A and B are shown apart, each in its own frame.
Chain A
């Protein structure tokens, strides 16, 4: 990296002592690039073995990449922490303005330690850090309101990110999220609960600076080339047009759409909840993450009439994407867009991971249907497919946790089913609730072996799609395909390139653009670093008790046929053996 680049600055913040300092860590960035690579190194440094994820010992680490602020679409921030949801590696990515703000404030990474003895929010403006009392914001019903108040009080308009938690984070629901800029999230694995455990309500970051480059002329030329590709490829255009919900109809057609807790794979109301219907009838505005020309964030307008007066509406703006539509729409059988938007709005207000929330509600619905639980546990809530009002009530109860049952739901489907039974239809992989693809074996294998149990770790579902059109893969080939994709993605997430732009940032482009930032790395070297980062993550996972032998594959995935037919447990176990063999 370049000698004078502020990128090597790591900002350390100690919430217990209300102290901060900056360290130059060129070593860290030269070796691990940035993003995921730097974050996992810092996690190894900062996180004591077997620590309680909700204790002051658990650090929060944010990292951005060397291309952030230099090239378009290097627009994500990687957060790392020990997950209170899985009690293992927690990694979550978020766009919005977060990455640009961190880089423009003059940092490559931020480490937050300790716990404040009263609610605070941290304001980082360039090289100044302020600890501000957040007592008045704590306990507020809506995370939107907290965001608005901070927005009005703090400077840096247009250049800042505001990360905050809602009630769910304060109450340490293990899958509470952190919301940035109202519509983007560190969604998965419970970063919100870690914020809550530290009495940390929000972080605002702003800054505005120049970044050094090796050769300005060359930089401008390469920027223009990358920009052209980014705005002209069809692969990127689809994210702007319908956005990710464009998947709905094709997946429904294929029979890969997990519906009603994956009892089915086609939803009779798929057309109603399709990207087309959202875009044609509800889309209000499209917005972009900072420094992303694509603008894939779709925001719907919901007009909700007040019952007591005619022509009197509450108008809400709610963002939507494929995964939320899957988790609330198909999994719960919600019949139409307004129902979906109302439940989504509730989840946003309270600050939960929508994917986990949907899967947990789906499990509870089936558990009640089968009589594993009764309305005594649910406190009168009659979970039923498509019944919006019941789900709205349940979400409040999950956050408030008035009894043992809701305390269990607040810890995820793995925990709830180990307590009440119903494991066979508890759809979690590595304790993290399932994403929205039942496309074949690779999807589920992908969630199982991905270092963070996310569908974006290795995109198993796209391997399924290839298998659909070509030949099948031997267990060894499957294991290798998943792992090599995941290893390359370590590079993308260390540069914090949005995964939607992976077709733009091919290995040659990555290598060339890194040169501008002073990193001389050939494609082979990059691949080696990707591999190393992948192993560093697994090192952490094993250290914290992960084991392939105890990986649970929910029985439900073998009962419901996928577009590739019924899944073969023997085949999948054999792939896992090979993965284990390769990773060990």
Chain B
């Protein structure tokens, strides 16, 4: 299963998903969120949801010097934090900016497609889906 953004046009920018992601990592607040909602340049134009899209051929994995990143079985990327040296290559390589950074330990944070946020999106923007295929 992986997380997909089914329709960002329905997003109201409430950031409930961001807070949910942090909670799922055991923290209240926003510092541990792997999903980010921001306006498309003024809220009147709506929002973009920045989250790992589970690329088929992920840029982040290709640039990792230590093989800390690998493909997960059904989409998404797995981070082996013990191998990571915090070089930041993955963050720079992700074309959509979906590799977030944990400043406390200076290591990346990437969506694990756990689906916790989906339960807290009140407007049907996010969904868990089987298999491949891409969405808005």
Contacts and interface: CB of A to CB of B under 8 A. Distances in A.
Contacts of B31: 208-210
A28 interface: no
A259 B23 CA distance: 49
Contacts of B28: 69-70, 210-213, 216, 219
B122 interface: yes
A144 to B, nearest CB: 9
Interface in B31-49: 31-32, 36-39, 41-44, 46
Interface in A286-337: 286-295, 297, 299, 317
B13 A159 contact: no
Interface in B19-63: 19, 22-23, 26-32, 36-39, 41-44, 46
B32 A210 contact: yes
A183 B42 contact: no
Interface string A245-286: 000000000000000000000000000000000000000111
B26 A182 contact: no
Interface residues of B, number: 28
A293 B14 contact: yes
B72 to A, nearest CB: 24
B15 interface: yes
Given A288-B14, A292-B14, 8 more contacts: A148-B42, A151-B42, A158-B38, A182-B44, A183-B43, A219-B28, A285-B46, A317-B44
Nearest to A292: B14
A183 B13 CA distance: 13
B62 to A, nearest CB: 27
Given A148-B42, A182-B42, A291-B19, A159 B30 contact: yes
Q: How large is the interface on A (under 10, 10 to 19, 20 to 34, 35 or more residues)?
A: 35 or more
A204 to B, nearest CB: 14
| Top 7 A-B residue pairs of the complex, sorted by shortest distance between their CB atoms | A158-B38, A295-B12, A317-B44, A288-B14, A211-B29, A293-B122, A288-B12
A181 B38 CA distance: 12
A146 to B, nearest CB: 13
A293 B16 contact: yes
A218 to B, nearest CB: 12
A157 interface: yes
Contacts of A295: 12-14, 122-123
A98 B13 CA distance: 14
B43 A287 contact: yes
A299 B22 contact: no
Interface string B62-96: 00000000000000000000000000000000000
